[in-house]
Amino acid sequence: MTLSEIANGKLAPRTGIRLDNISKRYGDHLVIDDVSLNVEPGTVTALIGPSGAGKSTFLRCINLLERPDSGTIQVDHHTIEPGKVINAKDLAALRRTVGMVFQSFNLFPHMSALKNISFPQQKVLGRSKEEADERALQLLERVGLKDKAHQHPGRCSGGQQQRIAIARALALDPSIMLFDEPTSALDPEVGLEVLAVMRELADDGMTMIVVTHEMQFARDVSDTLVVMADCRIIEQGDPRAIMSDPQEDRTRRFLRAVLER
């Protein structure tokens, strides 16, 4: 079975997500300036750009960890307007549909790897402990960490923790996965094992939005490359096309900086 099949029991209905005119400011400081993005079901979107461009903030707006000041989010027949009052049902539906993986893993340090993955299933989806544990073990096996099931995160390496975090998100059957610089806190070598898991997930047809500095991953795995700079999207399209022939001067400068490193 593939990763997402294990995650879903069956193949999840593929879901895309559409964001329109998202803006976000902190006080007088504009961080997202009228950004729109349409992600087709089953595709991988890589979000790159210089730091401070607003990539992470934008990603965090998608599942409303950051509340945009205006714009609309459409996912799975739900339309959410963050500028207005969000009802609890829409928020719950959004969070259920969208899974997220953080740069700093954010596993629960007081729970074993198994419990990290099993506990949210029981609370959010109402699964029985047996069912949730079984699902958790399957996922742990799939990310190559079955032997770590009863270890606490503090006993695991960064790469292992991140794979556990991916398993934790997948256990809730999301149809879209957000990755916020999932390998930035890891040694390059360790990052590879995380990228391998993500690549597999992409091959399974998971809809993914990935903020990353891993240019090779962006080129090889993503279907769409989105370049953000100065709080907005400056260029998007086929990753190979953009990387070999960027249209914007700002993109060219950024790519030169990362590729010639």
Partner 1 sequence: MTWLIEWAGYLPQLMSGLGVSLMIAGVSIVAGYPLGLVLSVMVQHRNLAVRTLGLAVVEIGRGAPALVILYLFYYGLPKFGIAFESITAACLALIWNSAAYSSEIMRAGMQSVARGQHEASAALGLSRGHTFFRVIMPQGMRSAIPGLMGVAIQMFQGTSLAYAIAVPELMKSAYNIGSQDFNYLQIFALAGICYAAISMPATWITVYFEKRLARHT
Q: Which residues bind partner 1 (CB under 8 A)?
A: 63, 65, 92, 95-96, 98-100, 102, 104, 106-110, 119-120, 123-124, 154, 168-169, 172
Closest contact distance (angstroms) between CB of 214 and partner 1 is 21
Minimal distance, residue 130 CB to partner 1, in Å: 19
Q: Which residues on adjacent β-strands are paired with residue 75?
A: 78
CB 74 within 8 A of CB 44: no
Residue 63 CB, nearest approach to partner 1 (Å): 6
Nearer to partner 1, 39 or 98 (CB): 98
Judge contact between 76 and 56, C-beta under 8 A. Answer: no
End-to-end CA distance of the chain: 39
Residue 117 or 242 having the CB closest to partner 1: 117
Comparing CB distances to partner 1, the nearer of 18 and 95 is 95
Q: Cβ–Cβ contacts within 10 Å for residue 119, how many?
A: 19
Shortest CB 3 distance to partner 1, Å: 18
Nearer to partner 1, 172 or 226 (CB): 172
Taking the least distance from each CB to partner 1, the nearer of 62 and 231 is: 62
| Least Cβ distance, residue 206 to partner 1 (angstroms) | 16
